[in-house]
Amino acid sequence: MSSVRVPRRARARLIAAVATACALSAAPPAAPATAADAPPYAETHRPRFHYTPDRNWMNDPNGLVYYQGEYHLFYQYNPNGDSWGDMSWGHAVSKDLVHWKELPLALSHDDEEMVFSGSAVVDRDNTTGFGTKKNPPMVAVYTSHAKDTGVQAQSLAYSTDRGRTWTKYRGNPVIDIGSREFRDPKVQWYAPTRSWLMTVSLSTEHKVRFYSSKNLKDWELLSEFGPAGATGGVWECPDLFPLAVDGDENNVKWVLVVNINPGGIAGGSAAQYFVGDFDGTTFTAEDKGTYTPPAGDVLQDFEGPGFGAWTTAGTAFGEGPAAGALAGQGAVDGFDGKGLANSFHGGDAATGTLTSPPFTVARPYLNFRVGGGRHPHEPGTVMEQGPPPEGTVLADFEGGTYGDWTTTGDAFGQAPATGTLPGQQEVSGFLGGGLVNTFLNGDSTTGTLTSPEFTLDKDYVNLLVGGGHHGAASADPTAVELLVDGEVVRSATGKDAEALDWTSWDVGDLAGRKARIRIVDDNTGGWGHLNVDHVMLSDTPARPVSRETSVNLLVDGEVVRSATGSDSETLDWASFDLRPYLGRKAQIQIVDRNTAGWGHVLADRFTAADAPALSTVRRADWADHGKDYYAAVSWENAPGGKRYMIGWMSNWDYAGAVPTSPWRGAQSVPREMALRTVDGRIRLTSTPVKSLTSLREGSPATAAGVTVSSTSQPLTGPAADGTALDIEAVFSLRDADRFGLKVRTGAGGQETVIGYDTTTQELYVDRTRSGAVDFASTFPGVQRAPLRAENGTVRLRVLVDRSSVEVFGGRGEAVITDQIFPDPDSRGVQVFAENGSVTLDRARVWRLGSYRD
């Protein structure tokens, strides 16, 4: 559990006064789809067989332990709302890892600490003295987050009544190194030394530490592991466990799971793992050797004195290639030869572009190295902030007064600000000499600013917004709200940046209605303020300004591919798939439009090749290739020596914005883990727990020997229509480029595509048309996982729920977990093939009941 869950790019921009708190909620575009008066557990997107709390916010699974016939699932929980905050441990138990019973709050936050992630053990020998050998205590080892200092330390609590009530240890904390980035202890009994072993994360250092103890109270540092693998975000929720390779008990390897945010394989949060050996003191990962990218035709290597035929605009790239780091920049590495493109000329404040001449796409991939800031290209943005659209200005906050707008609280002061306030980073992007800025006396102030009533007589409300990213639906928002009849019908936030940018609300459906604008700052944590300016009505939407630091591929002047750095001065390989554009003219454009933290881009060695270059992230190993599997940890003491794992089914990119209520957050299906040799390498595989089949209802819908050619056709039968399904399918390859299943299909073209791409040998999930996808820019997209066909066949196990899909390819070597939010009447299942034929050898589809039944 991260202390504050701030992406590293935001972390670098936080001023010292607020560096230990963050915003984790984004504003949905409108009210959640779930009706407030829906019957319990029947809300629109409430999962049927994935665990969710009755209400409020949930994230990381914690304290996974089996004891006296019960699997315990503790989890990060806010007992006071459906956004992140007041972190405590919620609690549920199950006898079969499928049917769950929610229990009362286990470990609560208090005036001094929040209770962050950790683990639980059964102290059978009563090494702690918290119980007796006859009634051994259950001991929770958790990260205590000090509210006054932000320091994270490891603490204990114990229970002698099977986890129903808990007492915090008076001697807490048991490990305190004075760090704000030291968290998520996973503890187990290590039999060879008859001692307790703790695996815990030094999050921003990308390290895992191992400690040993005889009594869970006194700990000795053993060793550290890392940095290694993917390091584009903080390391969290580590887990270490042994598994037999291919079921051979004489060949046991150790698996170290290290969850990372951001910087995951699909963007944002993800679960990385390493396979290696543990000798009781040190974990050693298997050596995967050095990486050599594919050879090809070099288009630009920046080795000459100038940029050649490439053209520059602005000042960020200077007169020619850089030889490494520039004045004021940290050490730059990972580039080839002596030169690279570096937009740090003049520091992060400089902007500009570097554009190649047109070239004909003749090879299938463009490989290159990229580094610098993680500020992606966003479609619909413009390069320069032009004049606002024509319209009616409701407020421009000029003239030193709020006019007839009314204030409450103390965040807004007596008059608009004239720019940056004391202690604040530079504010930019506002018009004229005045703006709303609630950083008055820092983030500690709160209040509201409300407009007089006006008529919505134009199609759009445009406004400039910056500051904190705390949505209107969160417990402590920093949001601009549009009120109609007193209800919030539209809302917007900043992006944890001081630069203001345009937001436009389409209000055509509200034509003629009376409305008000309310600016709300109810947040006293990091980025707990808002910047707002130039609120207006217009018949034209205002287009936001690009803030990207990216490498883009342009075809016909449009950006069709884009990549960024990972907030690092180390360049890494990236690759664009050019196959759709073979024979067409294209250009490469390196863009720096960002003036804030990590507001620069690095690039080198553009090479046209026949195979993609693989980044460090793509070369790393991942327990799941989807967007929504994070904080994955495993149960201790499971019967039969089994290793079961579960993950939080969300992503910090948009976790606070998902359209659910009165709960927010779900856990994945528990999975049985194994190590298997796949394509000559040892891989961690996962399959749904066998007991999940107990939820299957009635007879399955079946199909066999169905050949589909360049079309889609529905699977028939009552069971092949529903919102909670268990699907098994086997396909035989023919000549189709892509084939698979479409689930949750319905009116308006809603569908979630679960396919196999024969041209890349990848399993994929496409949720771009999965219903509600517009609540966050990073939500829609396609996730991919490598998967080789086995003897000409592809096997799929697909778990479909009201708001998720979990896809297991092959024998569990390729897994993709994604949330989806389709309409309730999108219930169909189809089989499809593109550009050729495929044979569905056999398929079975069961409806699944609820874990609460």
The one-character DSSP state at 170 is T
Give the closest residue to 343 by CA, choosing from 141, 590, 637: 590
Cβ(198)–Cβ(240) below 8 Å: no
d(CA 463, CA 429): 11
User: Could you give the C-alpha distances from 417 to 314, 423, 535, 844, in angstroms and in order?
Assistant: 30, 14, 16, 64
Handedness of CA 495, 333, 610, 809 (dihedral sign): negative
d(CA 214, CA 678): 39
CA angle, corner 437, sides to 146 and 396, nearest 5? 160
Cβ(2)–Cβ(22) below 8 Å: no
Phi-psi region of 792 (alpha: psi -120 to 50; beta: other; left: phi over 0): left
d(CA 387, CA 539): 15
Cβ(92)–Cβ(103) below 8 Å: yes
Counting Cα atoms < 13 Å in the Cβ hemisphere of 664 gives: 29
Please name the helix (run of DSSP H) or strand (run of DSSP E) that holds residue 616, with its range, or none.
Answer: helix 616-619
Cis, bond preceding 173 (omega within 30 deg of 0): yes
Counting Cα atoms < 13 Å in the Cβ hemisphere of 146 gives: 16
Counting Cα atoms < 13 Å in the Cβ hemisphere of 668 gives: 38
φ/ψ (deg, to 5) at 193: -110, 5
With the CA atoms of 258, 816, 733 and 613 taken in that order, what torsion angle do they form, in degrees rounded to the nearest 10? -50
Residues labelled as active-site residues: 60
Give the closest residue to 835 by CA, choosing from 671, 709, 743: 709
> What b/e readout covers 727-764, taking b as 16+ CB neighbours within 10 angstroms?
bbbebbbbebbbbbbbbbbeeeebbbbbbbbbebebbb
The one-character DSSP state at 779 is S
d(CA 594, CA 353): 11
β-strand pairing of 530-538 with 460-467 = antiparallel
With the CA atoms of 324, 327, 328 and 330 taken in that order, what torsion angle do they form, in degrees rounded to the nearest 10? 10
Give the closest residue to 635 by CA, choosing from 698, 571, 555, 689: 689
- CB contact set of 496 (below 8 Å; sequence gap of 6+): 6, 10, 13, 22, 23, 467, 468, 469, 527
With the CA atoms of 475, 481, 484 and 485 taken in that order, what torsion angle do they form, in degrees rounded to the nearest 10? 40
- CB contact set of 641 (below 8 Å; sequence gap of 6+): none
> What b/e readout covers 417-431, taking b as 16+ CB neighbours within 10 angstroms?
bbeebeebeebbbbb
Cβ(651)–Cβ(629) below 8 Å: no
Q: Largest Cα–Cα distance in the chain? A: 80
Handedness of CA 153, 53, 656, 776 (dihedral sign): positive
